[in-house]
Amino acid sequence: MAIADIVTRTQTGPSRSLPATYGERPAIDGPGMAALVEWVEGIAALTQPDHIHWVDGSRAENEYLLREMVDEGKLIKLNPEWRPGSYLARSHPSDVARTEARTFIASEKEEAAGPTNNWAAPAEIRATLEGVFEGSMRGRTMYVVPFSMGAVGGPLSHIGVQVTDSAYAVASIGIMTRVGTEVVRQIADGAPWVKTVHSVGAPLEPGQQDVAWPCNDEKYIVHFPDTLEVWSFGSGYGGNAILAKKCFALRIASVIGRDEGWLAEHMLLIRVISPEGKAYHVAAAFPSACGKTNLAMLRPTIPGWRVETLGDDIAWIRPGEDGRLWAINPEAGFFGVAPGTGESTNVTAVETLWGNTIFTNVALRPDGDVWWEGLTDQAPAELIDWEGNPWTPDSGRPAAHPNSRFTVAAAQCPQIAADWDTPEGVPLDAILFGGRRATNVPLVVEATDWTHGVFLGSTISSERTAAAEGTVGELRRDPFAMLPFCGYNMADYFGHWVSIGQRLRFDRAPRIFQVNWFRKGADGRFLWPGFGDNSRVIDWIIRRVEGRVPAVDSPIGRLPRIEDLNLDGMEVSEADLEELFAIDPDSWLAEADLTEEFYDTFGDRIPSSLRAELSSLRYRLKQA
């Protein structure tokens, strides 16, 4: 099929409410437009779609696509009385999460990808991709989605284009990014852009009936850091299909940041406002299941304190001319895990989901609303589970998939900062690293300087087992919470962090802290209540930033004096507080050995300054 023969409309034709030019290529001229069109036509020639649709990001277009998916049985429209403008998608049971085992970094040299990534030789994987993508969009529409990460034209923003044969992906990208012809205009004017290609890998023969969730058993998510491309095949789910998210915003952006001198981080971003009205900005990196979203939407239990949400998942951080670090949330929405999100754990998130939300793999209530484990303390008497089967509390299986999701605009969050999408970003006062540790790691520890803070970030880990069974040796490493998302050799990434600190003014660099909400006692009980009471740790951190309270030196860093923690209204025993900050030198020396083993997997690429930090830690522990 010749490119000229591919019409520019969806199969069912445009809605009467849409303009006659619906779906057509924008009439924009400029030096970069020819390259964009040539790229789109090249992908179309390979994938052979029936139609090409250039997405303009308008509300009318979005409503049309959503209505079309409902008509095709790919979305269920929820009861507008309970969830106006909201929909439920059910994926194929084999396509429910990121496919990290099929995620590759195709750098020219294997050592550039490093031991924590799956490496693929670029020429070989391109040949494989050409084979699976050939004809993969037959019978479908290929959507061309121009998007911006960060405000369009912002000094910290970057742009890209995704081509996809999934209308579900288009609707999700429209929530998670800024989509529209303004991005095409930037490309036409010569702005650099990232190329992302996605297909569910389920071509349709003439007259063949489509399925509710097309996908393919064969899957690839391949990143080309040298040419700033992402190719994803076979999955329609989440980060496998919304390529602007983890693929671009972290894996590819981390490479761009390395080359341009900034950081692309798996971090939430918040503004903390003191009772006196002074604002502080905090970025925090946590692996999954460590309270990241809860902290992003924190409601302090200390009277007078407020938290405004700036971002819940990704931060792009650049050194400013003033010697500080400036950060933006490059996303426009939240793509959050539903189970465990409830009024008792994160009421802000629940309030955000009042409408205009795409839910995936949650349960459906008889009244047309949705439910998932943790939304309420008591489950409804009957539901339709995430696979479309009847469910009751006696069914013996989850009603919602454990990785079920919600996709919603950040602007709907009741705690969102009024200037959350300011193009210039906000100046950082503190950076937090955390993991889920039942043992060893105190509630909070302050790094002694920037390099020590990088050392703390490089050693972040979570215990695999419950507290009663957990031992120091059973750690899941996730340095900087970036293990699955760093687009190049992680040892070089550690070195990049060290070098960023050298560009900051000593008195303006953000202070770095490690936190651990999950330490347990010998009886397996959490020693710290967490959730809103984590604001008490933030309170101490801010007073440290201000220099208003001293700290206690320890072998692993600076600890609070108990009397400097605001514990008013809390019921935490002195014994629990003592255990929260207890440091066992022998256990820490054993952990230092594990850190050295981890560093050794990178050979001689680990920065010498971090090796020195490890040696100093051992020395201090032996002197304790």
pLDDT of residue 20: 63
Domain 264-331+422-623 has CATH 3.90.228.20: yes
pLDDT in tens, 171-215: 999 999 999 999 999 999 999 999 999 999 999 999 999 999 999
Start-to-end CA distance of the chain, whole Å, equals: 75
Query: Given the DSSP bridges, would you call strands 430-434 and 279-285 parallel, antiparallel or unpaired?
Result: parallel
pLDDT in tens, 224-257: 999 999 999 999 998 899 999 999 999 999 999 9
pLDDT of residue 419: 96
- Give the CA angle between residues 460, 97, 480 to the nearest 5°: 15
Cβ count near 513 (within 10 Å): 26
Overall average pLDDT of the 489-515 stretch: 97
pLDDT of residue 289: 77
Q: How far apart are alpha carbons 293 and 91 in whole angstroms?
A: 24
State the residue for tokens 């083993």. 597
Q: Using the predicted structure, report yes or no on whether residue 554 has a pLDDT greater than 70.
A: yes
Q: Using the predicted structure, report yes or no on whether residue 154 has a pLDDT greater than 70.
A: yes
pLDDT of residue 624: 86
Q: Using the predicted structure, report yes or no on whether residue 90 has a pLDDT greater than 90.
A: yes
- Do 333-412 and 3-73+100-261 have the same topology in CATH? no
User: What kind of fold does domain 333-412 have according to CATH?
Assistant: Phosphoenolpyruvate Carboxykinase; domain 2 (2.170.8)
Q: Using the predicted structure, report yes or no on whether residue 1 has a pLDDT greater than 90.
A: no
Query: Which range is most confident: 163-172, 463-472, 520-529?
Result: 163-172
Which residue, 458, 475, 467, 415, is CA-closest to 293? Answer: 415
Q: pLDDT band at residue 474, thresholds of 50, 70 and 90?
A: confident
pLDDT in tens, 388-420: 999 999 999 999 999 999 999 999 999 999 999
pLDDT in tens, 118-136: 999 999 999 999 999 999 9
Cβ count near 391 (within 10 Å): 23
Helices marked H in 220-336: 238-241, 253-260, 292-296
Residue type, 101: A
Cβ count near 65 (within 10 Å): 21
Q: pLDDT band at residue 15, thresholds of 50, 70 and 90?
A: very low
What residue ranges do the domains of the chain occupy?
3-73+100-261, 264-331+422-623, 333-412
Contacts of 452 (CB under 8 A, 6+ apart): 512, 557, 613
Q: pLDDT band at residue 5, thresholds of 50, 70 and 90?
A: very low
CA-to-CA separations, 267 to 292, 295, 317, in angstroms, rounded: 8, 11, 10
| Residues that are catalytic | 290
- What percent of the chain has a predicted confidence (pLDDT) above 70? 95
Class of the CATH-defined domain 3-73+100-261? alpha beta
Count Cβ neighbours within 10 Å for each residue of 311-347 and write b for 16 or more, e otherwise.
bbbbbbbbbbeeebbbbbbbbbbbbbbbbbbbeebbe
pLDDT of residue 9: 30
pLDDT in tens, 18-56: 666 679 999 999 999 999 999 999 999 999 999 999 999
Supply the mean pLDDT for the chain: 94
Query: Given the DSSP bridges, would you call strands 103-105 and 220-224 parallel, antiparallel or unpaired?
Result: parallel
pLDDT in tens, 575-610: 999 999 999 999 999 999 999 999 999 999 999 999
- Give the CA angle between residues 465, 537, 486 to the nearest 5°: 55
CB 75 within 8 A of CB 359: no
Overall average pLDDT of the 144-157 stretch: 97
Query: Given the DSSP bridges, would you call strands 158-164 and 194-199 parallel, antiparallel or unpaired?
Result: parallel
Contacts of 32 (CB under 8 A, 6+ apart): 187, 188, 189, 190, 191
